[in-house]
Amino acid sequence: MPLGELDKKYVAEFFRSLPKCLKDETNETTVSYLAIRRGNDVVVLAARMVIGSQASAASLPPELETSSVCAGYFRLSEVKVSAKDYLNSLTEHGLLPLPRGSFSFPGNGSGSHSASLSVLDDAGLHRMRRFTVLKVYGGPQTEMYRRATLDWELKAAQVPYAGVDDLAAEFKFGAIEGQSILFEVLAENVLEVDEASQVKDTTATIVVNARVKLDRGEVTLAVRVVSQGAVVARKYLWSHGFTWKANEHGFAQANATLEVPKGAAVHCTAIYDGVAQHERLVVDQAAYENPLRIAFEVFDSKLAGLRQQLETVARSNDGRDIEPTIGWVLTMLGFQVFYLGGIKLMQDAVDLIATSPSGDFLLVECTTGVLKADKTSNLLARSALVRSALERGGYGNLRVVPAFATTKSEVEVEADIKAVERAGAWAICREQIDEWLLLSAAMADADSIVSAAHQRLEDIRAEDSGASGVGLPL
């Protein structure tokens, strides 16, 4: 059954919002999926289309089939249809086309599908990137499978996986969430400020990578230069002033240079056709403006020991060892940190209490594993106790942000991130920790970190209540 009129508007707005370069069919699109056998039928549980994917043919994992599970990853060009036509097949006929045959993508009880649109999706904002996500929902996934059964079946597959989460990380079909089967269409940022960008002495070199084939003339760069804690320059750089070459994927790479004060930090935003795509802070790793980082490096040059400790605890899966490590990182960012997890008498407390200069609180639970629901409940309960105590003491104006920190990557805990943050706690993954280590060279700004985390949770709460985030300004 076709989509409803509102759902069709979501689909139309998604394709209309794509930058011109992603509407070019020479930019590859991939589709990945997880499907479950039900009698003589194979029904899709979760699938994802990425428009403008950088995945090479050699990087795509081979199809996986077990007695209950089918998983695959292919290029859209293999089925010889456009992204729009593929989506029409999904919603008009309830079928997910494959290079060979198709799987069922059933609708709800009346046979219909529905859609939602997130123009600035949380998955991208979490990494300072522009992601636009269209979601198409099918019928209920309840009673389609038992998670534990699938996990143990995958452990015994000829190509073994630890479970569904491990499979999702490899095939990138997205998180299994909610009550409905789901097909996501994802348009990622088409530009990014490369981590090779640097500030050295009084020269900033900014490297911008294209992630797809695009018009170089539409690439621009916005920068804000910060020195001694204040913005000293705001600049807008045009493509004709860049030095161009091809990057490792064969796409365009721009290099821009500008003069900055010694030790300055440069906030860079890569822009395509007037739309911001990615943001990165570039700092001089040899000239710190953060005295906390300077003091720390007297005993740990270039944070080599701290980085090694992160790797060691991630491999050891010892949650207790990660607690002081996260505490050190937060201290360098300007937080005052109380490490409660190391005291046996405080085992029922949060692992870390971190306060910003303004007095706001970050209550942190640390783990080297996944973000478990029971631990989330405990964290939220403890945060509520702290919030109530502050209100009774006359400090109800102070913000209390519960947070879960893990050494796992965002891909490894994608489903957990969404569940934790919808419950009301901030998820801190390995990418964020690594970014903090980089940012710690600049002036510590714990207040901004708390503000950003608080705003993120508020946005998710408003989105889930239907107040903002999903849908269209119709």
Domain count, the chain: 3
- Write the pLDDT tens digit of every residue in 214-269: 999 999 999 999 887 789 999 999 999 999 998 887 889 999 999 999 888 899 99
The model's pTM: 0.74
Q: Which residues contact 465 (CB under 8 A, 6 or more apart)?
A: none
Q: Output the domain CATH number for residue 278.
A: 2.60.40.10
Question: What local confidence, expressed as pLDDT, does residue 470 receive?
Answer: 41
Q: Output the domain CATH number for residue 445.
A: 3.40.91.50
Domain boundary among 283, 304, 320: 283
180 and 197 belong to one structural domain: no
Give the three-state DSSP class for 456. helix
Half-sphere exposure of 383 (CA within 13 A, CB side): 25
pLDDT at residue 277 greater than cutoff 50: yes
420 and 296 belong to one structural domain: yes
Confidence of residue 57 (pLDDT cuts 50, 70, 90): low
Question: What local confidence, expressed as pLDDT, does residue 26 receive?
Answer: 62
Helix pair angle (446-464, 414-423), 10° resolution = 90
312 and 386 belong to one structural domain: yes
Residue 471 included in any domain: no
Higher-confidence residue: 4 or 273? 273
Question: What local confidence, expressed as pLDDT, does residue 468 receive?
Answer: 39
Residue 378 included in any domain: yes
Residue 29 included in any domain: yes
Burial of 224 (0-12, 13-18, 19+ CB in 10 A): middle
Across residues 48-66, what is the average pLDDT? 82
Question: What local confidence, expressed as pLDDT, does residue 417 receive?
Answer: 85
Residue 316 included in any domain: yes
pLDDT at residue 116 greater than cutoff 60: yes
Q: Which two tokens stand for residue 424?
A: 């009301």
64 and 164 belong to one structural domain: yes
Residue 470 included in any domain: no
Question: What local confidence, expressed as pLDDT, does residue 177 receive?
Answer: 66
- Write the pLDDT tens digit of every residue in 403-442: 999 988 887 887 788 888 889 999 999 888 988 888 788 7
Q: Which residues contact 238 (CB under 8 A, 6 or more apart)?
A: 220
Question: What local confidence, expressed as pLDDT, does residue 48 receive?
Answer: 94
Neighbours of 448 (CB within 10 A): 12
391 and 313 belong to one structural domain: yes
Question: What local confidence, expressed as pLDDT, does residue 291 receive?
Answer: 85
Residue pair 208/244 in contact (Cβ under 8 Å)? The answer is: no
406 and 440 belong to one structural domain: yes
- Determine the Cα–Cα distance for residues 474 and 469; give it in Å rounded to an integer: 13
pLDDT at residue 471 greater than cutoff 60: no
Confidence of residue 369 (pLDDT cuts 50, 70, 90): confident
Closest to 19 measured CA to CA, from 184, 211, 190: 190
Containing structural domain, residue 242: 191-283
First-residue to last-residue Cα distance in the chain: 24
Helix pair angle (164-171, 147-155), 10° resolution = 70
Q: Beta-strand (E) ranges in 39-164?
A: 41-51, 64-65, 69-75, 95-97, 102-104, 114-118, 132-140
Residue 422 included in any domain: yes
Residue 473 included in any domain: no
305 and 436 belong to one structural domain: yes
Domain boundary among 283, 309, 331: 283
297 and 172 belong to one structural domain: no
9 and 119 belong to one structural domain: yes
Closest to 54 measured CA to CA, from 198, 192, 207: 192
Higher-confidence residue: 111 or 33? 33
210 and 118 belong to one structural domain: no
Neighbours of 436 (CB within 10 A): 16
Residue 469 included in any domain: no
183 and 240 belong to one structural domain: no
Neighbours of 368 (CB within 10 A): 19
177 and 196 belong to one structural domain: no
Confidence of residue 25 (pLDDT cuts 50, 70, 90): low
- Determine the Cα–Cα distance for residues 67 and 310; give it in Å rounded to an integer: 39
- Determine the Cα–Cα distance for residues 401 and 389; give it in Å rounded to an integer: 14
- DSSP assignment of 253-270, as one string? EEEEEEE--TT-EEEEEE
How big is the chain by its Cα radius of gyration, in Å?
24
Torsion of CA 451, 187, 265, 440, to 10 degrees: 60
Q: Which two tokens stand for residue 236?
A: 């807008």
Domain boundary among 150, 168, 187: 187
